[in-house]
Amino acid sequence: MTDITLPAAWDNTTKAATAFQKLEDLPSANDVQGAIDKVAGLPDNAALTVSLNGLASAAGTADGKAVAAQADATNAKTETDRLKITKPAAKAQTLADALSLSVASNVLATDLIQIVERETGTGIGANTYQLIDGVTTRPAEDGGSIIHVGAGNLYLKGLFPAGVWVEQFGAKPVVGFDNKSAFEKAAAYLKTGVLNIGYGLFELASTAYLPIGIYLTGRTGNRGFDNTYTKSTGLSPTASATLTQDFLFFMNIDPTGDTEAWVEAFPNNDSGGAFNLTVDASKLIGNCHGFKFGGSYIFKNITNKKTRTLIAKPSGLYTDKVVIDQIHSISRSNDTEYLIDLPGTGDGYYIANIETGYLDGQDGMTNGVNVGRCRAGQIFGLINGRHLLNGCKAVEVYGCHIEGGNITLKDCNANVHDNILFCEEDVNGQIILASDNNVFGNRYEVTIENNVFDQSMNRRGGFQQTARPDIIVHDAFTVKLKNNKRKITDSTALSLHQYHGILLGTGPATMLSDFNDYSHLFSNYDSLIIANQVIKTGVIPSQNKVFDGVNVSTVAIDSTTFNAATATYYYHTQLLQDPIRKLGKNAIAGEKSITLTSGGNICQLDIQWNTTVNTGCAILRIYRGLATGAYTQFVDVPLVSCKKLYDTGVNISGFVWKARASGGLDSLNSGINEAITFCDGLIDMKSMGGKPTAGSWLAGDEVRKINPTPPGSGLSVNNRFLRLTSGSAHVTSTDWLILQNTQG
């Protein structure tokens, strides 16, 4: 570090030299500016350029004018820093004046020239330029920051890149400084285009107005939220700010007039936007929103901290083609207001990659996106949070990772697909259908497909402790479902997966048994629910091979313990195709037992699939008791692709234990376990057994025997059993009609 030595002819020499000694020890750019202010008595034509990365000794010319022997100005940390710590050698009102000065003998290479006015056509000006002799070459002109001087290799290099910068209109990243006027002056001058913001945290004491066509553009958001903003751009209220409706910026909305109307109606394309910055509400927690807009605005790459609502529009404005992308939140100020709030009507929205944030760290869910009557839009990549689509039509929701939260579709027509939604214990369903308008007889249609409902045994409350649906349906909707699964995993070993069927309900605690009893079928294949009525159609494959049952053992899983009484537990299993009609088979391996300790390791059940058995599209019924053959609990687990299950005490892999009268296994229909075809709730199945003797059946069900013994020519054999009544009785000629075929 070299201290500055100023010519003796200058005033305030001692003061200036002391101010600039050990500049690298100054903790912030604000202190650098303070040091500059201390040499305000220097002559107007004094050139003093200070680089944050190195200083050189100042020297004087023969006529007593000082010229900085600069370390290259490009060594400074940023263009903004260079401008703040630079005193121009000369001031020119226009570009033409600057070019005249540059070729005059009284301005030397490395001097700085300030051009006050900006040319309307070229954008050149309102900048401070360094005069550089390229010796043998010079860079091409770029419309503002590189300007050729004469026919040689001299050129002016702007300390700001080409474009309009809000700092050129007086903005300062200084604590307590009100930048509202600078933003509004810069926007008024620019009229339309990109308004650049340099590094630092820029505060506003009141709401700034940006007219249509202004694209507010920072250098980058504060990714680490480190509060320094030396390498990022931040916007913040002052500690005592008074903001209109608590917003920092009104965009095409007059903060002094009608705050629910736009200044220019239906602006559509090129409305404006905001990019590459952070909204930091830490100084006014609970009282700061970000942007309120009216038009087809674009918001991209914005981080935010302690905000209430980051982006909002009035509900009465019809806004098209709104784009909101790459929003990252941390430590929201409340859990009631939406981060992105777009009520009312619009067309063609694109909302993507929104990280909603928590109240603190990863605790406390918050509200993310609220979209009103949007027609034909895409919502992609939501991360965390509770989200509401209210009145949308032809909207696609996909690629989301809802790790703490849910998606509610109210009076919508939408396609929800290819998402992963975590089944947190404190959330009442991950996809929720709701309606305010079904009293008018309205109908809505939703397709829900290829979604994964994730449960981890040791994350965010672990497996469900109470029976809750993954999807809540509503009688105002027609719902088409396909290939939706529950995924069970250990958060410390995410590559280990077990897949099960999902559960549906008509409310947070009201399960839809018509679907859930056949989740092993409907979670794999197409299913249709109309006004909460499940249309039961499809094929359940046969389970006509040997089922060995399960083996049990204890397993240590991080942050997971057995949550039931210490005892020896007895387990038995059945593999079911239809749990209502009792179609399936018992495990041949018989009962298993194990001693489990309250607060100790959990029980792992390894399914012993025979090599030829169908390992999916079945229900595994598991029985548990405290004595051999006396089972007081059971649970039906819809299998999709599964090898291991985990008993944590109150549930098996998130499927909650149910009470039953103490006793042995339920009786099954012997030998009836071939393929089952459903048609509108009735079954037509093939069997190697006789007349059914167990389960509850519907009138119209039919069982066809596929292995009858030929009776001989002209003789008859029983080969079909037609159900006459609905219920669980099995009286021949009353409940079952036996049909025969005659051998020819």
Quick: pLDDT tens for 129-164: 887 877 788 898 877 778 888 778 888 888 777 788
Q: How far is CA 342 from the centre of its chain?
A: 17
Residue 679 Ramachandran class (φ > 0 left, ψ -120 to 50 alpha, else beta): beta
What percent of the chain stands above pLDDT 90?
Answer: 57
Are both 24 and 83 inside the same structural domain? Answer: yes
Domain that holds residue 656: 547-663
Residues 6+ apart with CB under 8 A from 424: 404, 405, 460, 461
What percent of the chain stands above pLDDT 70?
Answer: 83
Supply the DSSP string of 426-437, one letter for each residue.
TSS-SEEEE-S-
**CA–CA gap between residue 537 and residue 318 (Å, rounded):** 43
Q: Mean pLDDT across the stretch 660-676? A: 90
Whether the model pTM is above 0.85: no
Query: In the predicted model, is pLDDT for residue 59 greater than 50?
Result: no
State the pLDDT confidence band at 425, using cuts at 50, 70 and 90: low
Q: What pLDDT is recorded for position 318?
A: 94
**CA–CA gap between residue 65 and residue 105 (Å, rounded):** 13
Angle of CA points 272, 274, 280, to nearest 5°: 150
Q: What pLDDT is recorded for position 511?
A: 95
**Residue 714 in tokens:** 């002209």
Q: What pLDDT is recorded for position 62?
A: 26
Q: Mean pLDDT across the stretch 278-300? A: 95
For residues 553 and 603, is the Cβ–Cβ distance under 8 A? yes
> Identity (one letter) of the amino acid at 564?
A
Cα torsion angle, 276, 282, 284, 289, sign: positive
Of the three residues 132, 164, 196, the one that is the final residue of a domain is: 164
Query: In the predicted model, is pLDDT for residue 19 greater than 60?
Result: no
Angle of CA points 506, 507, 509, to nearest 5°: 120
Q: Mean pLDDT across the stretch 15-37? A: 34
Q: What pLDDT is recorded for position 142?
A: 79
Angle of CA points 290, 292, 296, to nearest 5°: 120
| Residue whose C-alpha is closest to residue 351's, from 382, 376, 392 | 382
Residue 148 — φ and ψ, nearest 5°? -75, 145
DSSP classification of residue 435: -
Specify if 687 maps to a domain: yes
Structure-token match 């709104």, residue found: 322
Are both 66 and 122 inside the same structural domain? Answer: yes
Specify if 149 maps to a domain: yes
Q: Mean pLDDT across the stretch 498-512? A: 94
**CA–CA gap between residue 507 and residue 695 (Å, rounded):** 28
Specify if 555 maps to a domain: yes
Are both 573 and 611 inside the same structural domain? Answer: yes
Are both 653 and 686 inside the same structural domain? Answer: no
Q: Mean pLDDT across the stretch 706-718? A: 86
**CA–CA gap between residue 69 and residue 631 (Å, rounded):** 91
Of the three residues 164, 186, 210, the one that is the final residue of a domain is: 164
Q: What pLDDT is recorded for position 564?
A: 96
Are both 652 and 686 inside the same structural domain? Answer: no
Q: Mean pLDDT across the stretch 55-67? A: 27
Q: Mean pLDDT across the stretch 577-601? A: 94
DSSP classification of residue 70: P
Q: What pLDDT is recorded for position 36?
A: 37
Are both 21 and 160 inside the same structural domain? Answer: yes
Q: Which of 140-144, 510-514, 594-598 has the lowest mean pLDDT?
A: 140-144
Angle of CA points 158, 153, 73, to nearest 5°: 35
Specify if 459 maps to a domain: no
Q: Mean pLDDT across the stretch 51-71? A: 28
Are both 87 and 135 inside the same structural domain? Answer: yes
Q: Mean pLDDT across the stretch 161-181? A: 89
Q: What pLDDT is recorded for position 158?
A: 80
Q: Around 292, how many Cα atoms within 13 Å sit in the side-chain half-sphere?
A: 27
Are both 48 and 140 inside the same structural domain? Answer: yes
Q: What pLDDT is recorded for position 743?
A: 84
Selection from 214-228, 285-299, 359-373 with the highest mean pLDDT: 285-299
Length of the chain: 744
For residues 95 and 123, is the Cβ–Cβ distance under 8 A? no
Residue 188 — φ and ψ, nearest 5°? -65, -40
pLDDT tens digits for range 202-234? 999 999 999 999 999 998 887 666 678 888 999
Are both 560 and 650 inside the same structural domain? Answer: yes
Of the two residues 617 and 728, the one the predictor is more confident about is: 728
Are both 627 and 560 inside the same structural domain? Answer: yes
Q: What pLDDT is recorded for position 99?
A: 76
Would you give the end-to-end CA distance of the chain in angstroms? 111
Of the three residues 118, 142, 164, the one that is the final residue of a domain is: 164
Residue 78 — φ and ψ, nearest 5°? -145, 165
Are both 47 and 160 inside the same structural domain? Answer: yes
Q: What pLDDT is recorded for position 32?
A: 35
Supply the DSSP string of 222-267, one letter for each residue.
-TT--S--SSSEEEEE-TT---GGGEEEEESS-TTS-TTS-SSSS-
Tally the domains of the chain: 3
Are both 70 and 160 inside the same structural domain? Answer: yes
Selection from 91-105, 117-131, 593-607, 709-723 with the highest mean pLDDT: 593-607
